[in-house]
Structure 1
Amino acid sequence: MASETNSPLDVDIAALQGGPADLGQYAGKVVLIVNVASKCGLTPQYTGLEQLHERYAAQGFTVLGVPCNQFLGQEPGSAEEIAEFCSATYGVTFPMTEKIEVNGEGRHPLYERLVGFADAEGHSGDIRWNFEKFLIGRDGTVVARFSPQTEPEAAEVVAAVEKALG
């Protein structure tokens, strides 16, 4: 993708297990980017995220988990601990990035490109909590934002994914 698109998929970020995550591989696909945490009241959303990922993967969809420890220290683990927890507890198969900051001075460039987009209630700016969701369309632009409390399999999320998949 051309860097002038300002797409979130144009940024460099490492994969959870090391090496580049290569977000460019998702060009032309639909991606749900979610800041995740292993010790949050919303952590059971991993189940719905995995089900969504499996349901639409063949149509060019993926969930991208982005671990973050900025909300009450709810993602304290190492990359290996996070990977093991997600796999063993929730059977997660979707890709995960390195642990990053989504707010503040240390905000990762990926989130610099996401936070300006408003959700259906008009919220834009800082990430409110773990499991805030951003849907990236096939053209690499943000097409929807969902609050942390919105379940991955909620009707509005599924409808937005299906619309983006075309």
Structure 2
Amino acid sequence: MDSVYRLTHDAFVGAGLTPATKSGQLIHFPELDNMPKTKVIVAEVNGRIVGTNSITFDGPAGLHTDKFFPEETQSIRDEGRNLASSWRVAVDPSFRNQLKVIRSIFKQTFAVADAYNLECCLFTFYEKHEKIYQKLINARSLCKKSYSNEFYTDKTQVLMRVDIEDFLGTAWQT
């Protein structure tokens, strides 16, 4: 996990999304990291982790979206669908322009989701990345909120949703 935390730090600092830390690590939701319902996905090139994403399946500990979008997450949860959230999407700055890395990460993420019979996945992305993920993974934007915490200062997050029936049959499945 140290490599994932360092990669996340470097990617987010490099994108201007968060200030650098002395530890050189960015640990978003440590309470979710060691849960059996969380799967950490990595993309490697020559044994080096160059991309990561995490997916947490809903359970007693909740989802990362409960922290920033609690009412919206609960409303979706009330639909009764098998729900998860995907978070900590990061790509090494030197690989940022290589679409194959992010595609590999999401292909792996949705393979894990399929293995767990996922029906709906929630994401939070920075507003500046909203259109990219609408195109890349057929994500639908639900709402936006700006907030500040120990990692971010006045960054607008977009709650996005991907329903498995909207994902199936896309180019991702090939």
TM-score by length of 2: 0.30
Answer with 1 or 2: which has the greater Rg. 2
Larger fraction in strand: 2
The higher relative CO (CA closer than 8 Å, separation ≥ 6) is in 1
